[in-house]
A = this chain, B = another copy of it.
Amino acid sequence: MAELAGVHPATASRALNPDLPGRISEETTRKVVEAARRLGYRPDPTARSLRTRRSGVVGVVVPDLLNPVLPPIVRGIEETLWEAGLGCLLADTDNRPDRETALVEELRARRCEGLIIATAARQSEAVASLIDSGIPTVLVTREPDDHPFPFVGGDDEAGVEAALEHLVGLGHRRIAYLTGPTDLSTTVRRLMAFRQVWERLLPGVRHTVVHTEGFTVAAGRKASLDLLSGEDRPTAILAGNDMIALGVYETLQTLGIDCPREISVVGHNDMPFMDQVHPPLTTVTIPQYDVGREAARLLLDIREGREVTPTRRLLPTRLVVRGSTAPASVAH
């Protein structure tokens, strides 16, 4: 260790610690730094952790990294954490509550200094278990119905509002909302927004809400097949997310319905390549990367004991109008 090279045992620690300004004379500090440099010395993080009770890592729990909305969030988190000198322990729950519980427990056992959780269903045993744990926790993108933690996500309400205004502005009146299962927080947040905006824009007008089996292409395909096969089909579909919208695309192809001439489709999330599908998908874009950064910043604030207000941060979303929406045909 640096002690040998220099002269002393634990003086080196103080010399190398920037939080102790004039604690050690400049002379001595210089010697220590020099010795450390020559030996390529880096204090052992394990030993340090043991003494200081800080592990230097935070756990990041995601439901499924293959979901295209997550990588940008994780990147935002990861970059922000490294900048603060914290490592990022990644855990993927594969959307399974039991795995979520197990992984959160594992992360706690590893003495993570904080947790960023993107995986929570509306009921989450794992999140509940954290409530009085004292572990700094931030939820991101998804959240349980009831929880005391800070949350960062996109402003879904504004997104749905913009999407619906867009469709109504194009003359659409028979609009179906095709969303996911009711046990996901995303479904609830977006659906509530849909209902509110609907009442404002088209009070009293009937609307259709269909719950798919999941936020997937297959579920979207299946649900839209029923919806579009019957008489009196809608002139526009607002999808709960882009996956469902892609499922709708497949159904349209199957049934030989032209988008956007005969029907308009709007998605949500603006996943990568949604400008490359056919037709290019009109959808709500969410600043996922910034959501990740903000979540990490919030966690750092909490960790430093800084006050965090407000506790919910909804980052601005924006409707990107592409080729999948058009004025309602006059025939209707």
| Chain A residues at the B interface, C-beta cutoff of 8 Å | 42, 44-47, 49-50, 55-57, 60, 64-66, 68, 70-72, 74-75, 78-79, 82, 87-92, 94, 103, 106, 109-111, 246, 249, 271-274, 276-278
Distance (Å) between the CB of A246 and the closest chain B CB? 6
Contact, CB under 8 Å: A90 / B66: no
Contact, CB under 8 Å: A46 / B87: no
Chain B residue nearest in CB terms to A90: B90
Q: Which residues of chain B are within 8 angstroms of A276 by Cβ–Cβ distance?
A: 246, 249, 273, 276-278
Chain B residue nearest in CB terms to A45: B110
Copies of this chain, whole number: 2
Q: Which residues of chain B are within 8 angstroms of A106 by Cβ–Cβ distance?
A: 82
Q: Which residues of chain B are within 8 angstroms of A277 by Cβ–Cβ distance?
A: 273, 276-278
Q: Which residues of chain B are within 8 angstroms of A246 by Cβ–Cβ distance?
A: 273, 276
A65 partner, pick from B75, B89, B94, beta carbons under 8 A:
B75
Contact, CB under 8 Å: B46 / A111: yes
Task: Provide a sorted-by-A list of 20 A–B residue pairs whose CB atoms are within 8 angstroms.
Answer: A44-B50, A45-B110, A45-B111, A46-B46, A46-B55, A47-B50, A56-B110, A57-B89, A65-B71, A65-B72, A65-B74, A65-B78, A74-B90, A82-B106, A88-B89, A249-B276, A273-B273, A276-B276, A276-B278, A277-B278
Q: Which residues of chain B are within 8 angstroms of A45 by Cβ–Cβ distance?
A: 109-111
Give the CA-CA distance A88 to B106 in the complex, in Å.
12
A88 partner, pick from B56, B90, B249, beta carbons under 8 A:
B90
Distance (Å) between the CB of A258 and the closest chain B CB? 14
